[in-house]
Amino acid sequence: MQPLSGGVSSQILRIDLDTRSMCAKRALARLRVDTDWQVPVERNEYEYCWLQTVARINADAVPGVYGRDAESGWFAMQYLPPEQYPCWKQELREGRVDVRFAAHVGDCLGAIHAATAGRSDLAERFASDRIFDAIRLSPYLESTALAHPDLAHVIRKLIETTAQTRVALVHGDVSPKNLLVGESGPVFIDAECAWYGDPAFDLAFCLNHLLLKCVWVPQAVAALSDSYRRLYAAYRSRVTWEPVAALERRAARLLPALALARIDGKSTVEYLTATADIERVRHFARGLLTEPCIQIEHVLECWRSEVTP
Ligand SMILES: Nc1ncnc2c1ncn2[C@@H]1O[C@H](COP(=O)(O)OP(=O)(O)O)[C@@H](O)[C@H]1O
Ligand SMILES: [Mg+2]
């Protein structure tokens, strides 16, 4: 057995057997971050159930799971070697921005949401509202509201809308670091924020990462912008469960709040360090929170004109 590095919230091991390798994961009660951030360990069970549920929708989009021991809180899944399944974040970092892959992510995510929308059994199974609040709404959005008292009412309204929208099965951490580039498309890992809630959260969370990556990998701004557009276009064509404009409005409103959360919330991105960059992102996000736009494309235009021309 050897520990795998990279995560902050779990213990994760590679286990080599005679015939194959597996990966085992268990949740930590206190995240390995500078601030004190405690989250219930039952999230490991939700992660396991999310992987099982999605395997039935698209088996290529997740590592296969082998089993879980409730008492110790460990589950075992297929080990996906990084040589064959590189991490999308690393690919982007190195300037390898494949817009078709981004579209594929949008397509898979939309398909997962479409297949799980309106399912009362899943709503009951993933009633993890308390965990989602502790791991997402509170550290990202409530802490940002506290840092920006003049915008607190707007941000708290977004928290309320998100918390009350129970529409489809949400992954909750759709970030390039949790997507592996598989031969037959994206593989989603790290579903411990799984929650039956607002699919707009997943969409906005992932698009926000593509915006922020423009600051990190400035030579790839054009391809990253294209990825943002293609991801949304593919996702959009899967939206069957509600009018697409309603979903788009919620995602477009969440986007600036999530961008602000990554500089002034509890979980800041490690690559935004230059004061000038931070100021530009803050200005962009505050502007859109004050005067919201309702289209994903307009958020990008605003980003391009204010942050990364
Ligand atoms: N099934 C897997 N096969 C191979 N590597 C994995 C697998 N699951 C996770 N990893 C590796 O371990 C890292 C941390 O796992 P992750 O589930 O994202 O945990 P955390 O919640 O701590 O971020 C990942 O970034 C990846 O490098
Ligand atoms: Mg992770």
**Mean pLDDT, each 10-residue run in order, the chain (309 residues):** 84 95 91 75 96 98 97 96 97 98 98 98 98 95 98 98 98 98 97 97 98 96 98 98 98 98 94 95 98 97 93
> pLDDT value at position 259?
98
What does residue 145 show for φ and ψ, rounded to 5 degrees? Answer: -60, -40
> Is 225 within a domain?
yes
Closest-lying ligand to the alpha carbon of 135?
A: 1
In a domain, 34, yes or no: no
Residue 22 lies in a domain: no
Look up the pTM and report it. Answer: 0.97
Q: Report yes or no: 79 and 159 within 8 Å, Cβ to Cβ.
A: no
Is 98 a member of any domain?
yes
The answer to whether 200 touches 250, Cβ cutoff 8 Å, is yes
The span from the CA of 224 to the CA of 176, in Å, is 12
Q: Give the ligand with the smallest distance to the CA of 6.
A: 1
- pLDDT value, residue 111: 98
Residue 216 located in a structural domain: yes
Res 67: pLDDT: 97
Which residue CA neighbors atom 26 of ligand 1 most closely?
Answer: 6
| Any atom of ligand 1 within 6 Å of the Cβ of 189 | yes
- Cβ 175 under 6 angstroms from ligand 1: no
**Cβ 126 vs Cβ 49: under 8 Å:** yes
268 occurs within a structural domain = yes
Which pLDDT score is estimated for 235?
99
Looking at the CA of residue 8, tell me the nearest atom of ligand 1.
Answer: 22
Is 45 contained in some domain? no
Residue 36 confidence (pLDDT): 74
CATH number assigned to the domain comprising residue 297:
3.90.1200.10
Mutation probe of ligand 1 site: the residue of 12, 43, 80, 175 with most atoms within 8 A of C-beta = 12
Distance 24 CA to ligand 2 centre (A): 14
Q: Which domain holds residue 176?
A: 81-306
Total of domains in the chain:
1
| Cβ of 6 below 6 Å from ligand 1 | yes
CA 9 to centroid of ligand 2, rounded, Å? 8
Residue 241 in domain = yes
Provide the pLDDT for residue 34. Answer: 72
pLDDT recorded at residue 33: 72
Ligand 1 binding pocket mutation candidate from 28, 189, 193 (most atoms within 8 A of CB): 189
